[in-house]
Amino acid sequence: MSILYDEGQQAIATESRRAIEARISKDDLLPLLQTTGKYHEAFWTTAKEQGWTALALPEAYGGLALGLVELGLIAHQAGRTLSGAPFLTSSFGAAKAIELYGSDAQKERWLPGLASGEAIGTIAFASGPDALPAQPTATWAADRLNVHANGVSGGLFADVAIVFASTGDKPALVIADLSGVARTAVDSFDNSRCIADLVFSGTPAELVATGDDARTAALHVLALQAVVTAHEQTGGAEALMEIARDYAITRKAFGQPIGAFQSIKHRIAELYGFVELARANAIHAAASEGSSDFITAAAAARLSATEAYDTAARDCVQIHGGIGVTWEIGLHLHMRRARSLALEQGSSFFWEDILVDRLAGDVA
């Protein structure tokens, strides 16, 4: 897959930007911060109507058979505008796990719903700071799953979860129907992520993979999600860079635009560098799906995107001065999102280790 977008891909970028910008604004998003258990309905409806939920899934199950490059373009636009729900990434991860590693019956059962958006999926691999624990605390035996899975993004509304568990002394990847699972909303700093603590207590769950295969599969799914998220982070960082630039051109102090001061203009030029590196790595990673260096490319994309979005959030607020820290201007929406996206699918620590293990030749 080329790292140059073709005309069709450019059209996806333009159309998705138009659709999202028409349906979502910061005035919709601000109130969501102060409630739990709500996401931005119009965003998710748009995602379903536009076929974004189906985009990267196989045609046999109602998908559009496009790939990570196209989904990345949508995620970039969603990142620019601040997506109103986490399901585009969480459902994609669950669906890819089922598509790549599940049985035909499991695909029949879940993929059509995930493709249409009628069903919502999520991933529960992490245990605190461990994105992919050496010893998963979740246990699976005799088709039953037991674990308190905490901080699951999208978990509050998900119908199905892919869980990283232990079976005996081996890791296992399992699919669990969440209809009978107790869930508590986490009151977080970014509430539209619909984060929940899930209690699996003898919950029926089907095995997808065990042993090293389970770990490899789980890492691959995380990497797929990480590439989508990297695009979303890059979009957010790009939007903040433009907001900072526009403010620096219009805001005046000491008789001139503040953007004429090098302390301001250089900060914004540095943001340009972060954004372009993140964009280049994200495109490369998306185009590398299926190649042997996909995990390495995904890790690099994830690291530079997290750095770009966090830095842009920090600096954009700083450039605004006092107005930047007000509730109303909403820059904190990006600050919050930069952090929630940094924590989902493994923090920078996790991806640094994944990357260095490969560069040092410890992992083929």
Partner 1 sequence: MSDLEAYRTNASAWCESMVAAFGKAARKGLTVEEDLALGRRYQKAKFDAGYAGINWPTEYGGQGLGHIEKITFEAEEMKHGFPNVYFGISLGMPVPVLMQFGADKEFVKERVVKALKGEEIWCQLFSEPSGGTDLAGLRTRAETDGNGWKINGQKVWTSWAQYSDYGVIVVRTDPTVAKHKGLTYFWVDMKAPGVTVRPIKLAGGDSHVNEVFFDDVKISDDHRMSPVGGGFSVALATLMIERYVATDSAGFGPHLDLFVDLAKDLKLNGRPAIEDGRIRQQIARNYAMRAGLDSINRRARLMMQAGMTPGPEGSLNKLVAVRSRQKLSELALDLQGTDAFLFDEHASPKDDWASSWINAPTGRIAGGSDETLLNTIAERILGLPQDHRPDKGIPFNQIPV
Residue placing its CB nearer to partner 1 in the complex, 207 or 280: 280
Under the binding rule (CB under 8 A), the answer on residue 260 touching partner 1 is: yes
DSSP state of 134: S
Per CB under 8 A, which region of 61-69, 208-216, 221-229, 245-253 contacts partner 1?
245-253
From candidates 259, 289, 319, 324, binder to partner 1 by CB under 8 A = 259
Question: Could you tell me the smallest distance in angstroms from the CB atom of residue 15 to partner 1?
Answer: 22
Under the binding rule (CB under 8 A), the answer on residue 130 touching partner 1 is: no
Under the binding rule (CB under 8 A), the answer on residue 55 touching partner 1 is: no
Q: What is the total residue count of the chain?
A: 364
Burial state string for 161-197 with b = 16 or more CB within 10 A and e = fewer than 16: bbbbbbbeeebbbbbbebeebebebbebebbbbbbbb
Rounded to whole angstroms, the Cα distance separating 267 from 117 reads 41
Question: Could you tell me the smallest distance in angstroms from the CB atom of residue 220 to partner 1?
Answer: 19
Asked whether 79 and 89 are in contact (CB, 8 A), the reply is no
From candidates 69, 268, 312, 335, binder to partner 1 by CB under 8 A = 268
Helices (H) and strands (E) in the chain, counts: 11, 9
Under the binding rule (CB under 8 A), the answer on residue 299 touching partner 1 is: yes
Under the binding rule (CB under 8 A), the answer on residue 177 touching partner 1 is: no
Per CB under 8 A, which region of 36-44, 180-188, 204-212, 256-264 contacts partner 1?
256-264
Taking residue 360's Cβ as centre, other Cβ atoms within 10 Å add up to 8
Under the binding rule (CB under 8 A), the answer on residue 30 touching partner 1 is: no
Per CB under 8 A, which region of 14-22, 206-214, 337-345, 354-362 contacts partner 1?
354-362
Q: How far is CA 291 from the centre of its chain?
A: 21
Helix, strand or coil, per DSSP, at residue 147: strand
Residue placing its CB nearer to partner 1 in the complex, 78 or 301: 301
Rounded to whole angstroms, the Cα distance separating 252 from 82 reads 28
Binding to partner 1 in span 269-298, by CB under 8 A: 269-270, 272-273, 276-278, 280-281, 283-284, 297
The strand ranges marked E within 41-195 are 121-124, 139-141, 144-152, 160-167, 170-177, 182-185
Helix, strand or coil, per DSSP, at residue 158: coil
Under the binding rule (CB under 8 A), the answer on residue 105 touching partner 1 is: no
Among the listed residues 26, 25, 84, the one whose alpha carbon sits nearest the alpha carbon of residue 52:
84
Q: How many residues line the site for partner 1 (CB under 8 A)?
A: 40
Under the binding rule (CB under 8 A), the answer on residue 42 touching partner 1 is: no
Under the binding rule (CB under 8 A), the answer on residue 309 touching partner 1 is: no
How is residue 12 written in tokens? Answer: 């996806």
Among the listed residues 71, 78, 70, the one whose alpha carbon sits nearest the alpha carbon of residue 29:
78
DSSP state of 66: -
Stretch (H or E) spanning 255: none
Residue placing its CB nearer to partner 1 in the complex, 14 or 35: 14
Per CB under 8 A, which region of 90-98, 121-129, 303-311, 328-336 contacts partner 1?
303-311
Residue placing its CB nearer to partner 1 in the complex, 128 or 255: 255
Q: Which residues bind partner 1 (CB under 8 A)?
A: 2-4, 241, 245, 248-249, 256-257, 259-260, 262, 265-266, 268-270, 272-273, 276-278, 280-281, 283-284, 297, 299-301, 303-304, 307, 351-353, 355-356, 359-360
